[in-house]
Amino acid sequence: MERIDREYTLGEVTMAFTDLRGSGDVVFVLVHGIGMGRIVYSETAEMLAGRGRVLAVDLPGFGDSPEPGSAATLTETAEVVAQFIRDESPRRVVLVGHSMGTQIVAEVAARHPELVDALVLIAPTVNRHERTAHQQALRMIQDLAGEGPKVLFTGLWAYAKTSPMWFINKLRFMLDHRIEDLCPEIETPTLVLRGETDRVCPRDWVSEVASALPHGTMDEIPGRGHEAMIKSPEPAGSLILDFLAEHPARP
């Protein structure tokens, strides 16, 4: 497996990304959540590379990607991701988003369906029944309380790379976004995943998201919280690959 760390530039935006080239013809694009980076997909990316090529990005202002000249809404960030796919992938992709990343990839799938073969939403946000910064912070604290050192260290390391003002701006855009309004417009086959113990994304909310998708399927990851794929790539990786086996690439 070949691994290359690269940079993608579009205007004043630069995104660091990892390009993993494994065996197979599937192209995966992985998009992380607020305050995080492509590091959260490290082990999952290696697992998915068994089916093809994996492009894991650091969104602008997160991870190793510098802040651009001005803050961008999630819709504007989705346009950067869409152009990234056009420039870096020779074919339609399997687009995977976690937490805030689900809002971004949902925008791409709704606005640019020609780019996406399949969509995976892991812990979709923001729960419309608790759409305030205070409620979301409380739920995240409750969720992390039961996590082990690997999840906590990875989260702290990633958050330390994000400036407080950039985080606050993105949080505001995140809370303003309505993923539930986008779902009925997404015709792409979509797998919606949540950790069984996720306090940020309760079962009723995630079920609501999955039901709003014309071709949505929901599954739960036993014994996992919001950061469902950091502790280990399983079983999230297998659930994604099983979903693809049931929904082969379109011609």
Give 19-71 pLDDT, tens digit per residue.
999 888 899 999 999 888 998 899 999 999 999 999 999 999 998 999 887 77
DSSP letter string over 147-167?
A: --HHHHHHHHHHHTTS-HHHH
| Helical residues (DSSP H) of the chain, grouped into ranges | 42-48, 74-88, 100-111, 133-144, 149-159, 164-176, 179-182, 203-212, 236-246
Residue 214: C-alpha distances to residues 41, 114, 121, 171, 184 (Å): 27, 17, 14, 28, 6
Give the pLDDT band (50/70/90) at residue 166: confident
Over range 134-152, report the average pLDDT: 61
Give the pLDDT band (50/70/90) at residue 161: low
Residue pair 217/247 in contact by the 8 Å Cβ criterion? no
Residue pair 187/111 in contact by the 8 Å Cβ criterion? no
Determine the pLDDT at residue 241.
95
pLDDT tens for residues 195-217?
A: 998 888 999 999 999 999 999 99
Output the pTM of the full model.
0.92
Residue 109 has pLDDT above 90, yes or no: yes
Distance CA 33, CA 105 (A): 11
Q: Which of 37, 50, 24, 21 is nearest to 162 (CA)?
A: 37
CATH no. of 2-243: 3.40.50.1820
Domain boundaries, the chain: 2-243
Determine the pLDDT at residue 135.
80
| Radius of gyration for the chain, computed over Cα atoms and rounded to the nearest angstrom | 16
Determine the pLDDT at residue 142.
62
Q: Which of 69, 5, 11, 85 is nearest to 37 (CA)?
A: 5
Give the pLDDT band (50/70/90) at residue 74: very high
**Mean pLDDT for the chain?**
88
Give the pLDDT band (50/70/90) at residue 153: very low
